Every structure is written in C-alpha cells, then in structure tokens.
Amino acid sequence: MLSTSYLYAVKTLALLARATMFGSIIRFMKIYDYTVLMTPDVTGGYVVTCPALPGLVTQGDTLEDARANAAEAIDLYLEVLLEDGEPIPADVTPIIEPLSIKVA
C-alpha cells in the first residue's frame, strides 16, 4: 500500500504538471491548518467532520485512516473552492460541551 505522503507528492506533481501544461503560473503554495472532529461510529471506525468546512464529512476504519481521509477530503474541498474563485475559510475552534436533555 502506498503511503499518504507519497500519494500527496504524486498528486502535487500532477497538479503542477497540469498547471504548467495550461500555461498557468504558480506563485506559491500555502499550508492551511484545520481542526477536525473524529467521532467513533457505532458500527466501528470514525466519522470525521471539519467545523470550518460545511458539508465536509469522511470516515476511516482506524484513526490513521480517518486522518488520511480527512486530509484528502480537505485538500479536494479547498481545490474546488480555489477553482470556483471562492475564499478559503479560516479554521474555527469548536466549543465542545456536554448538554443534558430531559425526555418525558
């Protein structure tokens, strides 16, 4: 199985080749940091969401898989935003607290 870093490098090179092929000039690459929530799923594995990126949901059988899938999902999400000329959202710090609900 190929490592995540290897796959990321291959994808990055493919993007660079595509940009060069179309005559685009790449000015710089920026690193974005995002908070993700990895919630254990009742059927096993983990469901991952990113509060700063609405609608982004992925999963993984292990925490390692969940992290890798989250990184790929975020990368693709940001790529679509850039292609559509949309701004890249800043990370948000979620407030996590227990909430008691009384059910009659």
pLDDT of 56-77, one tens digit each? 999 999 999 999 999 999 999 9
**pLDDT score for 42:** 96
Distance between CA atoms of residues 21 and 66, nearest Å: 33
Q: What is the pLDDT of residue 4?
A: 67
What mean pLDDT, rounded, does the chain reach? 86
Q: Is the pLDDT of residue 51 over 90?
A: yes
CATH code given to domain 31-93: 3.30.160.250
Residue scoring higher pLDDT (9 or 58): 58
Share of the chain above pLDDT 90, in %: 70
Map out the domains of the chain as residue ranges.
1-28, 31-93
Q: Which of 22, 24, 10, 27 is nearest to 75 (CA)?
A: 10
Answer whether residue 8 shows pLDDT above 60: yes
Fill in the DSSP letter of residue 102: -
Query: What is the spatial distance between Cα 78 and Cα 22, in angstroms, rounded to a whole number?
Result: 20
Summarize the confidence of residues 78-96 as an average pLDDT: 95
Asked whether residue 45 carries a pLDDT value surpassing 80, the answer given is yes
- Mean pLDDT for the stretch of residues 31-49: 97
The dihedral through the CA atoms of 13, 5, 94, 48 has a sign that is positive
Query: C-alpha 23: how far from its chain's center?
Result: 28
Q: Are 88 and 71 in contact (CB under 8 A)?
A: no
